[in-house]
Every structure is written in C-alpha cells, then in structure tokens.
Amino acid sequence: MQVEITREYIDQVEEAIERKDSEFILSTMADMYPADITTVLYELNANESKYVMDMLPPEVGSEILSNLDYDIRTDFLQYFTSAEIARYINLMHSDDAVDILNEQSVQTREEVIALIENEEKAEDILDLLHYEEDCAGGLMAKELIKVNLNWRVRQCIEEIRRQAEDVERIYTVYVVDNKDILVGRVSVKALLLSRDDKLVQDIYSTDVISIESFRDENEVVSVMQKYDLEAIPVVNIQGRLLGRITIDDVVDVMQEQAELSRQLMTGISENVEEDDSVFRISRSRIPWLIIGMVGGLMAAKFMGLFEKDIAILPALALFVPLITATGGNVGIQSSSIIIQTLSSNEVMFDNFAQRMFKLIMVALLNAIIISSLVFAFTYLSWQDLKLSLVVSVALFSVVILASMMGTLTPMVLDKVGINPAVAAGPFITTANDLLGLAIYFGVAHLLYNL
C-alpha cells in the first residue's frame, strides 16, 4: 500500500529510527518510488538517512544517490565507507557513477574504483573521469547498444540481448564498422522483421546525428532540442563511438541553465540554495544590490542638476517614477527575449537588419500606445497642454531608447564573451533610469524654456 508522505509520517519514521524499528521502515517504504524515499530523506538528518539507506535494497539506494542534490549528497556520503559507496556505484550507470566520484576526495575515488566488481564498468568510469563535467564527454554514459556493420541479424539480436543487461532504455541501436566508427543506426523493429541471415549493412540507416565529446553541454542541449532526440551518440574527433547522452541528462542541464539565468537576471551572482549559510546567500546578492544602489545615487545626483527646474514647475517631479519605471520595464522585456534567443543558440546575427526593423516597429507601436494613454490622462488631470506634451514625448522617447538598449546590450555582451543574462537586471535598469531622466528634463527644457 502506497504511504502518503506527510509531516506525521516523517515523525513516525524518525521515531522508528530512534527505536531501531527496521520493520516499520521496510514495510512502509516497500512500495515507495525511490524519488518519494528521497523526499523523506531530505527531512531527516545525515545519520537518520544513513540508517534508512542501510535498510533498503542496494538497487533502490543507488537510484536514490543518483538523484540526490549535489550539496546534500556530498555531505551525506561522508558517513559512508568506500566499500559502501562502491556497492551502490556497481549498480549505477557510468555517467551517474562518475558524477558521484567527482564529488569525492582523490583517495576515496581511487578506493571506490578499486572495489568495483565489474572490470568493464571500472574501465568505463576511468574513461569518463578524464572529461570536464560541462562537455558532451562529461554528460555521456558508456552503456549503449551497438552492432557491427558486417554482422547478420541473428548475431545482432544475440548481442542486443547481451548488452541490454546494462542498458535500462534502448532508444536506438548504433551501427559501427570494424574500427568502431559510427556509420549509422538500425531500429529494433527492422531487426525483428528481417531474416536471420540478412546483413546489417542491407537494413541500416546512415541518418544518424552525433556530437563530438569536446562539445559544450549547451551545444548538446541545442542539438537535442532542435532535432527532438531522446538520445544522441557521442563520438571522438575521428568519429569513433564513445557513448551516448540520454534525454534525462539533458533535462538536468536545462534545469541548471534556467536556474542560473533566473538568478543572474534577478541579481544573484552565484548558485545558492535556500538552506545555504546566511553569509553565502548574502554574498550572492550583495554585488548587484551595490550596483543598483550606486545607480540610484547617480540618479539622485543627476536629478539634483534639475533642482531649479523642479522648483519652478513642481509637477515635473510627479512623473519621475513613471519615466524610470517604464524605461526599466521595457528594457527588461526586450533583453529577456534576446537572452532567450541567445541561450537557445539560435543564429542571432543572420538577417540582422530584418530583426532590428521588427524590434523597432514593436517599440514604436508600444511607444505610441503608452504615450497616447499618458497624454490623455495627464491632460484630463492637470489641464496643462505643455506638461502633457513633456510627459508623453519623454515617455515615447524612453520606450524607444529602452527597447534599443534592452536589445543591443545582451547582443554586444554575448559577442565579447560575457554572459548576457547579467545585463538584464540592475545594469539595464540603472542605465535606463539615467537616460530616461535626461530625456525627460531635456524635453521639459525645450517646451518650457527653463
């Protein structure tokens, strides 16, 4: 019977651990998915989690370890011996095993590898340890199904049965030549429907998309999204088949990218979690808060230049928040669209003139609508034609300028090798505040002859 994970159940588990009641833990968790057990472990301390893990079958424990968050897993595994870690590593896919081993000290890593029972798996892990984590080689798993171009269907099916023991999901069967060079793929359906004595070279397809092991993880995401792939083979520079990357690994990368972009765009300079220390969370937020503060002080100093103008016409001060807020919002909207395009690796600079014309037309339409509404409201409220013109003309100019800045700034930063997501927060907002105020008071000077 499936147990509902509630605060009451968590308390019962804690009490069972304190009483050393392994029967309660095993009976209630027997029908749980590993992901649900992981949710329970997040509510326990390290010692309690270790007790639960020791009770569970190794297969379940290995899946739980594979899915634990990095920070929690690193702390958690400090309570495990190398032999205990090796027991779980033996049951993992090679890519998950390498992720865990990279988090350990060199001594622990070597001890665990020495204790791995399957020599082929140990060799696969050693191969993967050479790759950086953020490249295709660091994402791939060595487990896959491959057959030789010159084999007959009968031999292929026997080989698939043998290799399938180590492969959880068979997305496709890759075809290689005698030098292990990837030459194509063949579907399981084609193998099953073909005669046993038929050669693979007569039924395979050369239509296969692969990626080199040195490619950045962002390129992997882009290729798999573009071609709607569930798995992609990884090859070396000579085209030799090394492994494959599956969709679950790519989803993890996409989540990390989305989280990083969200944090950068909201002014958080490093990856933080809710349960991190006060100092770490504060350190991640303070740089952009300081930039925003400096921008605010500059805006205040800038407004001081127009102190006499405001004294002559106090109503000018009423619309300063409108000018700055609108410029900031328009800039953030424009930059967000450009950053999304850049992050998806679309070709931004093809048809550049056409793209810019479209963005300008959108900015013009928005500027006309917003400035017209503000003109009507201001004139009906103050009955002052000049004031209404000042505010509406300034707002029109600010919307156009903020759209251009929000569009061009991320593109320029990306071109010079700086992450464009950092430009979408306080930077663009502060720049638009200063330029918006300059335009606003400049228009007021022209129309009022101040």
Query: How sure is the predictor about 348, in pLDDT bands with cuts at 50, 70 and 90?
Result: low
| Residue 261 falls inside a structural domain | no
Mean pLDDT taken over the chain: 85
Report d(CA 175, CA 147) in Å as an integer.
Answer: 5
Evaluate whether 100 touches 87 at the Cβ level (below 8 Å): no
**For residues 34-53, average pLDDT:** 90
Q: What percent of the chain clears pLDDT 70, i.e. is strictly above it?
A: 89
Q: How far apart are CA 79 and CA 47, in angstroms?
A: 8
In a domain, 272, yes or no: no
Q: What are the CA-CA distances from residue 216 to residues 88, 130, 211, 370, 425 (Å)?
A: 29, 15, 10, 43, 26
**Between 347 and 301, whose confidence is greater?**
301
**Residue 268 covered by a domain:** no
DSSP letters along 362-419, please? HHHHHHHHHHHHHHHHHHHHH--HHHHHHHHHHHHHHHHHHHHHHHHHHHHHHHTT--
Q: CA 126 → CA 116, 119, 138, 272, distances in Å?
A: 11, 11, 12, 30
340 pLDDT higher than 90: no
User: Which CATH number belongs to the domain containing residue 411 in this structure?
Assistant: 1.10.357.20
Q: What is the pLDDT of residue 234?
A: 96
Q: Is the pLDDT assigned to residue 292 strictly greater than 80?
A: no
Structure tokens that stand for 139 in this block: 């994402």
The radius of gyration computed from the CA coordinates of the chain, to the nearest angstrom, equals 30
- 128 and 165 share a domain? no
- Provide mean pLDDT across the span 374-393: 91
294 and 427 share one domain: yes
In a domain, 324, yes or no: yes
In a domain, 265, yes or no: no
pLDDT at 91 over 80: yes
Say yes or no: 282 and 382 in one domain: yes
Beta-strand pair 173-176/211-212: unpaired
Is residue 269 domain-resident?
A: no
**Does residue 290 have a pLDDT over 90?**
no
The arithmetic mean of pLDDT across residues 85-89, rounded, is 93
Q: Are residues 194 and 314 in the same domain?
A: no
Q: Is the model's pLDDT at 74 over the cut of 80?
A: yes
Together in a domain, 298 and 217: no
Q: State the average pLDDT over residues 50-73.
A: 89
- Mean per-residue pLDDT, 294-299: 78
Could you list the residue range(s) of the whole structural domain that residue 204 is in? 146-255
pLDDT at 407: 84
Residues 166 and 251 in one domain: yes
The pLDDT tens digits of the residues spanning 103-133 come to 899 999 999 999 998 888 899 999 999 999 8
Q: CATH code at 248? A: 3.10.580.10
Among 132, 158, 184, where does a domain finish?
Answer: 132
Question: Does one domain contain both 213 and 160?
Answer: yes
pLDDT surpasses 80 at 342: no
Instruction: Give how many domains the chain has, as a whole number.
Output: 3
CATH code of residue 78: 1.25.60.10
One domain, residues 39 and 68: yes
Residues 315 and 421 in one domain: yes
Output the pLDDT for position 412. 79
Same domain, yes or no, for 311 and 441? Answer: yes
CA distance 283 to 179: 52
- Last-in-domain residue among 132, 161, 190: 132
Predicted pLDDT of residue 281: 67
pLDDT at 6 over 70: yes
Q: Band of the pLDDT at 269, cuts 50, 70, 90?
A: low
Q: Has residue 270 been placed in a domain?
A: no
Q: Which of 41-45, 148-152, 374-378 has the lowest mean pLDDT?
A: 41-45
Could you tell me if 334 and 228 lie in one domain? no
> What is the pLDDT at residue 450?
59
Tens of pLDDT, residue by residue over 173-202, are 999 999 999 999 998 888 988 999 999 999
Residue 141 falls within a domain, yes or no?
Answer: no
58 and 103, same domain (yes or no): yes
Least confident window among 209-218, 293-302, 339-348, 372-381: 339-348
Specify the higher pLDDT residue, 265 or 38.
38
Query: Is pLDDT above 80 for 319?
Result: yes
User: Which pLDDT tens digit goes with each residue over 406-433?
Assistant: 888 788 777 777 666 665 566 777 778 8
Q: Which residues pair with 147 in a beta bridge?
A: 175
Q: Which residues pair with 212 in a beta bridge?
A: 235
The mean pLDDT value for 68-84 works out to 87
